Amino acid sequence: MSGALWWLPSLIVFGGAAIAAVLLVRGLRARGRRVLEDEGRTPEALDQRAGLALVQADDVVRQAEDEVGFAEAQFGKSDAAQVARAVSSARQALREAFLLRQKLDDHIPDTESDRTRWNTRIIELCATATRLVETENSSLSERRSVERDAPERLAQLTAGLAETEAALPAARATLDALARRFSPAAIGAAADAPRAAAALLAEARRSADAATDAVSRGTLAAPHLDAVARHLGTARTTLAQVTHIADTLNGAATELESSLADTRAGIAEARAARDANPLPDAADLIGDAIAVAQRAADEAETQVRALAAGPAAAGAIGAANGAIGASLPPSRADDGDAAPAEADGGSAADAERELVPVGALNPLPAIGRLRDASLQLDQALAEARSNVERIKNAQAALRGAVFSANSYIEVAADFITSNRSRVGPEARTRLAEAERQIVLAGASADPVEALDIARRAARLAQDADALARYDAGPRQAPVRR
């Protein structure tokens, strides 16, 4: 070989080694990928596992939270304290898991490494929460299996069953009265509460009959008694939705009047500021905000007048709530119905405005629109009012925003609880984030910031409710576990 090509053999050797190294690395990566797929550790598989673990753990903890109440009723608060602590620790672990899931679901792109790490942590947290709950559930099961006071417990449950059955007519009467004033959207899932409660009470009655037979024969009655307690407790919770929605809507009717008065005062102030403002652009901006607020106020006033025109319905609601409170322990004091608002002495056009049709009232969205309009007025008047006045108006708007956010959170939480087996992680994650945001709103010292947070919580809760209803499909009786 000539001296000019002395380097050729070395090039062939090193080139072949480099090619072999590249092929080896690719082979190892492919093999590693196949191993990860077999073990379910690819990003996609891990994401599915984390979502499923989150749903299952949330269901387990929710059921355990119900179980705490049963344990307190059966064994007393001191004996059930350990169970309550375990459930609290499990819920804390799930809060961290939901926060991680929220980071995975938000609009900010995540690296594959971050997604793998967060999903792995979610699975670990869900396993911890489930283990905490299942350990205490096992202890409760052992205690119940050795109970010897079955006859006394059966008598207590039978009496409670009879009391709750007696509350059904009052609940139906309350819903009938609500339906004559408020829209189905305002009443929500509570409309189905008496039917669902009646089905649960029928199951409880069958279990009570089986427990009676077991006691008379001297066989194990605890499982039947547990079933009675479970169905009875769920029936009471379901039936309490009627009283809760009645209190909420009656409270919202009062809140609507207050919000309307605040909005009209804001409109009057804005008109004065608009007329006194030397800048045409600023005056136009204030005028646009006044127009929006005026429309919201006019809409709200039609509902206020319709509410004031139905004193008979209000009396029926109050009487029915009183009947439920007398027969369904523990009772909630009836706050009473708001006094009819006096008609505003406005123009002839205002006097001739038609009332909202019977059965179509829903004050909650109207409150939200009033608060939105008040906020827009506040923003338009930013240059015309002092910081103290701006903060005062934000505080006034915050009350309504928190009220609306809590209402949407309660609706979403009730629906998810009633449809546990159907609702996926996305709805639950948004609900958990909404609950976190409303806590942050309450902790904020800045009312403007708190208002933004509360409104964000309301949007998240509405999203959670919409996603949950999409997951659940057509309305059916809740699936109970």
383-397 average pLDDT score: 63
Q: Which residue would you say has higher pLDDT here, 265 or 6?
A: 265
Question: 331 pLDDT exceeds 50?
Answer: no
Looking at residue 335, what is its pLDDT?
38
Question: 39 pLDDT exceeds 60?
Answer: no
Categorize the per-residue pLDDT at 19 as very low, low, confident or very high, splitting at 50, 70 and 90.
Answer: confident
Mean per-residue pLDDT of the chain = 76
Q: Which residue would you say has higher pLDDT here, 317 or 357?
A: 357
251-288 residue pLDDT tens: 877 888 888 888 888 888 888 877 776 556 667 778 88
Q: Are 242 and 173 in contact (CB under 8 A)?
A: no
Categorize the per-residue pLDDT at 313 as very low, low, confident or very high, splitting at 50, 70 and 90.
Answer: very low
The domain limits of the chain are: 8-38, 43-145, 150-225, 244-472
pTM, 2 dp: 0.41
116-146 residue pLDDT tens: 888 999 999 999 989 888 887 777 776 666 4
Per-residue 3-state assignment (H helix, E strand, C coil) for the chain: CCHHHCCHHHHHHHHHHHHHHHHHHHHHHHHHHHHHHHCCCCHHHHHHHHHHHHHHHHHHHHHHHHHHHHHHHHHCHHHHHHHHHHHHHHHHHHHHHHHHHHHHHCCCCCCHHHHHHHHHHHHHHHHHHHHHHHHHHHHHHHHHHCCCCHHHHHHHHHHHHHHHHHHHHHHHHHHHHHHCCECHHHHHHHHHHHHHHHHHHHHHHHHHHHHHHHHHHCCCCHHHHHHHHHHHHHHHHHHHHHHHHHHHHHHHHHHHHHHHHHHHHHHHHHHHHHHHCCCHHHHHHHHHHHHHHHHHHHHHHHHHHHHHCCHHHHHHHHHHHHHHHHHCCCCCCCCCCCCCCCCCCCCHHHHCCCCCCCCCECHHHHHHHHHHHHHHHHHHCCCCCCHHHHHHHHHHHHHHHHHHHHHHHHHHHHHHHHCCCCCCHHHHHHHHHHHHHHHHHHHCCCHHHHHHHHHHHHHHHHHHHHHHHHHHCCCCCCCCC
Looking at residue 326, what is its pLDDT?
45
Q: Of all residues in the chain, what percent carry a pLDDT higher than 90?
A: 18
As a whole number of angstroms, the distance between CA 277 and CA 259 comes to 26
Tell me which amino acid residue 399 is.
R
Looking at residue 321, what is its pLDDT?
42
Nearest CA to 55 out of 430, 344, 420 is that of 420
Q: Which residue would you say has higher pLDDT here, 6 or 67?
A: 67
Categorize the per-residue pLDDT at 344 as very low, low, confident or very high, splitting at 50, 70 and 90.
Answer: very low
Looking at residue 3, what is its pLDDT?
54
Looking at residue 36, what is its pLDDT?
46
